[in-house]
Amino acid sequence: MTTSLDPSDWEAVRAQGHRMLDDLFDHLSTLREQPVWRPIPQEVRDRFHTAPPAEPTPLSAVYQDYRETVQPYAGGNLHPGFMGWVQGAGTPVGMLAEMLAGGLNANLGGRDHMPIAVERQVAGWMRDLIGFPATAGGQFVTGASTANFIGVLLARSRALGPKIRRKGLAADGRRLTAYTSKGAHACVARALEMAGIGSEALRLIAVDADHRVLPDAMAAAIAEDRAAGLTPFLIVGNAGTVDTGAIDDLTALADLAAAEGLWFHIDGAYGALGVLSAAIATRLAGIERADSLAFDFHKWGHAPYDAGFVLVRDEADSYATFSQVPAYLGRETRGIAAGDWWPCDTGPDLSRGFRALKVWFTLRTLGTTAIGRAIDQGCDLAQALARRIAASDELELLAPVQLNIVCFGYRCADPNRVNATIVADLHEAGAVAPSLTRIDGRAAIRAALFNHRTTEADIRTLIDQTLTFGRRAVQARAA
Ligand SMILES: *Cc1c(COP(=O)(O)O)cnc(C)c1O
């Protein structure tokens, strides 16, 4: 009897696989006919409390379960009406490449195989598009949260020397401090926590009316900390903040970092791919001066989740922070164990999937020009939405629209409750789905226009339904 986990009937699996693929194309080509999101019935949740499956279930039956209980209740980010949070929408090509990667099941920790060359090529493309020098290297990680964490670790090694890896922070005694905008993503603070430096060491610097960090205020904070005997080590610039799409003055921050001898990291989670749009690229000037850059291909790049990336100006810094060569990972000059780049030397992961393939397919089949156009389209829709908000007495814009994110509110006596109600009502109605945030302490409806499938009609629906649900929420309270 064979113990292989391969099927005994290949033809049956093949037929089932073809059905799945056909179903997926049906799904992707009819997104607009489906709701963005559906409330999940209790009966569906209840089906997920079962004992571990000791005995086999036919693939067709498990797939049927999936069709009934998982696929209809996904998070909605593919749908043209999805405008909540900062999420990519995927593409059919990305899906196919993900399938190919699954079939190959490559492990990109290291060794000599072409999947590594694919990742290397994507890193080279990004080095060229961002304008980093030939010394640069980069690799895929889960997302910008991890890429920002790596940036903090690189900065820490640069400030305290690579011995910090063995001795730990306590042995050094210096107290590190870092600087970023008040608008920075929360994962930057968490990166300092995970690095053992602590989030209290992160100075959240004030911003201007456009939510861009004030470089002079940052310089003053650095001077104050130096005077107090602390050790400034890192500036984190923002290329597209999560709430308002603000792009810091990256040139000013690069100058400040150079003058102060600090590591300059940029959180360009979604904004870095703005280099693909001529209009946004000029506003990103200075991005090419970063020591490290975190960004995601799964947002404005629309590669399937997950596809974060960290690009490092001088790959030697990555080696200094991460490389180890235990005997069981010995490097050879011939055979599978050869290879001149082992990604496990330049990042925290050993086993790594073939994330590069879906990005390689996405960039090659769509071309960077089309991706740039989709980015511009989102920014144009944001301006169209801002105009409609300005034209309505019942709505107010809560932050200047800088890119593709629009924060607005329904004007009323009780805006926190009413705007939260509107957002939940919109989600349940299933046509458009913005998210809720707070701008300067006030509840805001946040439309993040990332989806390449969104059109002006969706913007109209957002306005119309917001007004309907806003009026209803106000009346409900009055009644
Ligand atoms: C999305 C985002 C992050 C976090 O990235 P993940 O890929 O979700 O880990 C960080 N910063 C900004 C500005 C973001 O938009």
The per-residue pLDDT for range 404-436, each reduced to its tens digit, is 999 999 999 999 999 999 999 999 999 999 999
- Whether the per-residue pLDDT at 79 is higher than 90: the answer is yes
* Cα distance between residue 429 and residue 378, in whole Å: 23
Dist. CA 244 → ligand 1 center (Å): 13
Query: Residue 323: what pLDDT?
Result: 95
Structure confidence at residue 436 (pLDDT): 97
Contact yes or no for 266/287 (Cβ under 8 A): yes
Q: What is the Cβ-side half-sphere exposure of residue 263, based on CA atoms within 13 angstroms?
A: 29
Contact 253, 169 (CB under 8 A): no
The per-residue pLDDT for 404 is 96
Residue with the smallest CA separation from ligand 1 atom 14 is: 269
Determine whether 192 is exposed, middle or buried from the number of CB atoms within 10 Å of its CB (0-12, 13-18, 19+). Answer: buried
User: Per-residue b/e over 450-475, b at no fewer than 16 CB within 10 Å?
Assistant: bbbbbeeebbebbbebbeebbeebbe
What is the model's pTM?
A: 0.96
**Tell me, what's the pLDDT at 333?**
93
SS (H, E, C) 90-146: CCHHHHHHHHHHHHHCCCCCCCCCHHHHHHHHHHHHHHHHHCCCCCCEEEEECCHHH
pLDDT number for residue 328: 85
Task: Tell me whether strands 292-296 and 263-267 are parallel, antiparallel or unpaired.
Answer: parallel
* Residue 440, pLDDT score: 87
On whether the CB atoms of residues 472 and 410 are closer than 8 A, the answer is no
86-119 pLDDT tens trace: 999 999 999 999 999 999 999 999 999 999 999 9
Query: Which of 85, 86, 270, 299 to probe ligand 1 with, by most ligand atoms within 8 A of CB?
Result: 86
Q: Which amino acid is at 184?
A: A
pLDDT of residue 478: 73
Residue 1's pLDDT is 64
* Mean pLDDT taken over the chain: 97
What pLDDT score does 95 carry? Answer: 98
Sign of CA dihedral 54, 60, 64, 66: positive
Q: How far is the CA of 379 from the centre of ligand 1 (A)?
A: 18
What are the b/e assignments for 204-216, b being 16+ CB within 10 Å?
A: bbebeeebbbbbe
In the structure encoding, which two tokens stand for residue 355, read together? 């994330």
Report how far residue 314's alpha carbon sits from residue 311's, in angstroms, rounded to the nearest whole number: 9
Q: What is the pLDDT of residues 42-52, one digit of tens each?
A: 999 999 999 99
The contacts of residue 72 (CB under 8 Å, 6+ apart) are 34, 38
Number of H helices, E strands in the chain: 17, 12
- The best mutation among 152, 242, 244 to test binding of ligand 1, ranked by most ligand atoms within 8 Å of the C-beta, falls on 242
| Position 439 pLDDT exceeds 80 | yes
Give the mean pLDDT of 73-83: 97
Dihedral class, residue 28 (left if φ above 0, else alpha if ψ from -120 to 50, else beta): alpha
pLDDT digits (tens, 9 = 90+) for 234-287: 999 999 999 899 999 999 999 999 999 999 999 999 999 999 999 999 999 999
Q: How far is the CA of 300 from the centre of ligand 1 (A)?
A: 11
Give 14's pLDDT tier (boundaries 50, 70, 90). very high
Average pLDDT (454-477) is 96
User: 143: Cβ below 6 Å to ligand 1?
Assistant: yes
Ligand 1 atom nearest 238 alpha carbon = 13
Question: In terms of residues, how long is the chain?
Answer: 479
Ligand 1 centroid to Cα of residue 65, in Å, is: 32
Element (H, E) at 408: strand 405-410
Nearest CA, atom 5, ligand 1:
144
477: pLDDT strictly greater than 90: no
Assign 462 a pLDDT band (cuts: 50, 70, 90): very high
Q: Are 271 and 244 in contact (CB under 8 A)?
A: no
Determine the distance separating the centroid of ligand 1 and the alpha carbon of 306, expressed in angstroms: 11
Q: Across residues 442-464, what is the average pLDDT?
A: 97
Rounded Cα distance between 162 and 316, Å, is: 11
Inform me whether the pLDDT recorded for 391 exceeds 90.
yes
Does the C-beta of 303 come closer than 6 Å to ligand 1? no
**Cα gap 107→414, rounded to integer Å:** 54
- Whether 191 has a pLDDT exceeding 90, the answer reads yes
